[in-house]
């Protein structure tokens, strides 16, 4: 991720800026409707885009039945997401392809850190009463501390949606400032807005701005547990808030869509969005992640098709 000395330190809460937020819903809908068809990736570039998407995945397991064995298998896949013979046929030599991070619950962080030792792949942990954010504040802060103590280097915090829904921007800001202070220099903070629980696109924009003012390193769409998770509409609003924040402060904030992104076609639509709205820097894992558990299967399948011209049978595509 972005080096510590260039991290977003946050800014004082600027309520005038927050209250001036405005989103033209029909313009947003028109813009994203054109996105998947408008930027058709030329065949020669497809493999490069697919491989880049692999490196931007936060490979995730956040299930009630997570076990040490499942975490170990996930970490093995994270270290070698694409089979070596396929990489060879793609002409990728001397370059290690790994995912961006492995994301787990706080209680599974130690196992993931152990399994990833020496790989350079960071462990991300959800925290702060994920997914609902309804536990008492001291408990939410303690979760961050526990995850960092166990070795997490990225913390995906979830906001209290009530602060957004009631327009209590100071409460949201103060809460996130405490989370950021707890992360300190030990871990980067990704702030989950749970956009499916928010009422309007304007609230998405306002929450994005407050999260960045409070010092978030990344803003993230969803927990993956809401009824509606990542959509291109909310993503467009969030990335434009990132651009606005960059123009005003000079700090680059990362973006992470999460939940329901399970096909290469979807991943490339998000990559096109990042490229067109923020530029090539936001195609790299230090500023762009995709939270996903099953996306990797389809990316590998599409790469196999690119190499061979046909799709492999499922049993030929081992997923760790």
Residues annotated as catalytic are 156, 220, 256
CA atoms of 131 and 126, how far apart (whole Å): 8
CA atoms of 143 and 127, how far apart (whole Å): 6
How many C-beta neighbours within 10 Å does residue 248 have? 14
Residue 10 — φ and ψ, nearest 5°?
A: 85, 170
Give, to the nearest 10 degrees, the angle between helix 264-278 and helix 25-38: 120
Residue 230 — φ and ψ, nearest 5°?
A: -60, 130
CA atoms of 182 and 67, how far apart (whole Å): 28
CA atoms of 146 and 155, how far apart (whole Å): 11
Q: Strand locations in the chain, DSSP E?
A: 57-60, 101-104, 123-127, 154-158, 188-192, 218-220, 254-256, 290-292
In DSSP terms, 59 is beta-bridged to: 102, 292
252-to-34, 73, 108, 149 alpha-carbon distances in Å: 26, 33, 30, 27
Residue 192 — φ and ψ, nearest 5°?
A: -90, 120
Give one DSSP letter per residue of 204-237, joined into a string: HHHHHHHHHHTT-SEEE---S-SSS---HHHHHH
């Amino acid at each position: 991720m972005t080096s510590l000395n260039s991290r977003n330190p946050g800014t004082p809460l600027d309520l005038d800026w927050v209250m001036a937020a405005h989103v033209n819903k029909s313009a947003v809908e028109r813009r994203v409707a054109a996105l998947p068809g408008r930027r058709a990736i030329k065949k020669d570039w497809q493999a490069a885009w697919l491989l880049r998407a692999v490196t931007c995945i936060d490979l995730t397991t956040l299930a009630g039945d997570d076990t040490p064995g499942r975490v170990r298998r996930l970490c093995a896949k994270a270290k070698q997401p694409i089979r070596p013979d396929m990489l060879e046929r793609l002409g990728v030599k001397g370059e290690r392809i790994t995912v961006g991070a492995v994301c787990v619950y706080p209680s599974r962080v130690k196992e993931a850190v152990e399994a990833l030792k020496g790989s350079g792949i960071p462990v991300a942990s959800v925290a702060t009463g994920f997914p609902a954010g309804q536990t008492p504040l001291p408990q939410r802060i303690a979760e961050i501390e526990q995850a960092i103590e166990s070795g997490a280097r990225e913390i995906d915090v979830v906001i209290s949606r009530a602060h957004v829904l009631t327009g209590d921007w100071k409460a949201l800001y103060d809460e996130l400032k405490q989370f950021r202070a707890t992360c300190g220099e030990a871990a980067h903070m990704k702030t989950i807005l749970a956009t499916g629980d928010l009422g309007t696109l304007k609230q998405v924009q306002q929450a994005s701005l407050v999260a960045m003012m409070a010092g978030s390193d990344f803003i993230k769409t969803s927990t993956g547990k809401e009824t509606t998770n990542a959509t291109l509409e909310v993503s467009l609003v969030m990335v434009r808030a990132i651009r606005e924040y960059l123009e005003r402060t000079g700090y680059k904030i990362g973006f992470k869509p999460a939940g329901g992104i399970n096909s290469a076609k979807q991943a490339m639509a998000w990559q096109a969005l990042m490229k067109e709205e923020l530029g090539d820097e936001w195609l790299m894992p230090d500023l762009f992640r995709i939270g996903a558990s099953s996306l990797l299967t389809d990316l590998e399948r599409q790469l196999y098709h690119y190499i061979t011209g046909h799709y492999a049978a499922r049993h030929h595509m081992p997923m760790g």
